[in-house]
Amino acid sequence: MRIAWIGKKSPFCGNVTYSREVTNALHREHEVSFLHFAQEESEPENWPNFQEVSLPFIYKSQVYTIPSFKATKLLTDSLREIKPDIVHASLTLSPLDFVLPEICEQLNLPLIATFHTPFAGKGAKFISGTQLLAYQLYAPFLGNYDRVIVFSQIQRELLARLGVKKKKIAVIPNGVDTAKFSPGDSTIKAEFKAERLFVYQGRIAPEKNVESLLRAWKQSQMRTSSKLLIVGDGPLKSSLEPFYGSESGIIWLGFVADEQRRIEILRGADVFILPSLVEGLSLSLLEAMSCGIACLATDVGADGEVLEQGAGVVLNTKTARSQLRTLLPLFQDHPELTTLLGQKARQRVLDRYTLSKNITQLEELYKEVLAQWPVPLGRRA
């Protein structure tokens, strides 16, 4: 099958990881072309060697992208030349997302979208007006795609309430390479002189609610042998770091580009904490679970669903700080508890959230859409 994948290659975020892992896996059996916004950075690691098309942009960030005026024509010409069987867009919160259906209709190409935009959770009122606006803005246009992939039934119901037909929404959860993200040896505790190691990994931004974790850690008066690693960068880092530092056992690592280094951190950690106010389905959480460490996350997006029935501890966004003040010392003093939760987390990923299962479901969706599409003979590779 010939697949044209449209997504992000930088800057690093969950959407980038999703595109990299899925296209890597698809490339083993299919012919994949990757169309992405041109990057000025050095070449990221772990990307497959396939045909690429760089689309020009005016601005891009971890959250959204503004393409240049030439991007639409270049995208159209590239798809006409590639002649894919199917187009899959990992939506980048870009104006291009809204014209893609029109372009593919002109070219007689079936079009699938993965909709990543985070949300607050079950039946939820949105915490962030920005997130609500994104859903309201996208819902009328998502109906123009042949299928829209979301990560949970909760998100499917949310889009359906906003007018997207349920038959067009496919639930395919994120998946993790469980061979790569697996329990193993690590020297990270020795490196930071820690007996107990707690980790946050993600953007340092308001929607991630990192300050609740930092305040809870400081108020819990953790032992000096317990350390909290903050892995990531973002707009709030410079304002938070001076007040929550090494004197409290908090170590700021910034963005860690090397994947093997991130795996080593997870393998050496005892507890992973994600106190977000909104999420989709956090790949960072799934990676931590797959490495066999105890996980705490708020019941937002699909994260609470991932940890339900004892696979981890589900926090309430309204009381996350007070809950963490209780739980941090508990997990510090009872290693047997974190060991048990780590085992359950690993098993949950093996049962539900493997990359291989994700790819199988994706291939089945492609075949279903193609079976309903009048593809000219000779196009399929």
Q: Write the pLDDT tens digit of every residue in 278-297.
A: 888 899 999 999 999 999 99
Cis status, amide bond into 329, omega within 30 of 0: no
Question: Alpha helices of 84-234 — where are they, by DSSP H?
Answer: 96-106, 129-142, 153-161, 188-191, 210-220
- Dihedral in degrees, nearest 10, Cα atoms 5, 7, 11, 16: -70
Q: CA dist 241 to 123, 204, 232, 262, Å?
A: 35, 10, 12, 20
Distance in angstroms (rounded) separating the CA atoms of residues 41 and 240: 27
pLDDT tens across 313-344, in order? Answer: 999 999 999 999 999 999 999 999 999 999 99
**Which comes out higher in pLDDT, residue 378 or 36?**
36
Across the strands, what pairs with 119? 279
What is the distance between the alpha carbons of residues 341 and 335, in angstroms, rounded to a whole number? 10
For residue 275, which of 306, 298, 294, 252 has the smallest C-alpha distance? Answer: 298
The residue that leads in pLDDT, 126 or 212, is: 212
Q: What is the pLDDT of residue 129?
A: 53
Lowest mean pLDDT among 51-55, 206-210, 235-239, 348-352: 51-55
Residue 381 has pLDDT above 90, yes or no: no
Six-digit token pair at 100?
């893609």
For residue 130, is pLDDT > 80? no
- pLDDT band for 374, please (50, 70, 90 cuts): confident
- Per DSSP, the three-state class of 209 is coil
Give yes or no for a contact between 110 and 87, defined as CB atoms under 8 angstroms apart.
yes
State how far the Cα of 365 lies from the Cα of 165, in Å rounded to an integer: 16
Q: Over 70: is that where the pLDDT of 375 sits?
A: no
pLDDT at 377 over 60: no
Has residue 126 got a pLDDT over 60? no
Band of residue 125 on the pLDDT scale cut at 50, 70, 90: very low
More confident residue, 27 or 374: 27
Lowest mean pLDDT among 59-68, 137-146, 345-354: 59-68
Residue 314: its H or E element: strand 313-315
pLDDT more than 90, % of the chain: 71
Q: What is the pLDDT of residue 93?
A: 80
Quote the mean pLDDT of the chain: 90
In whole angstroms, give the CA distance from residue 275 to residue 91: 25
Residue 95 has pLDDT above 60, yes or no: yes
In percent, how much of the chain has pLDDT > 70? 92
| CA atoms of 154 and 266, how far apart (whole Å) | 28
Tracing tokens 């669903």 back to the chain, one arrives at: 305
CA–CA distance, 119 with 114 (Å, rounded to integer): 15
Span 230-240, average pLDDT:
95
Q: Is the pLDDT of residue 214 over 90?
A: yes
Asked if 149 and 172 touch (Cβ cutoff 8 Å), the reply is yes
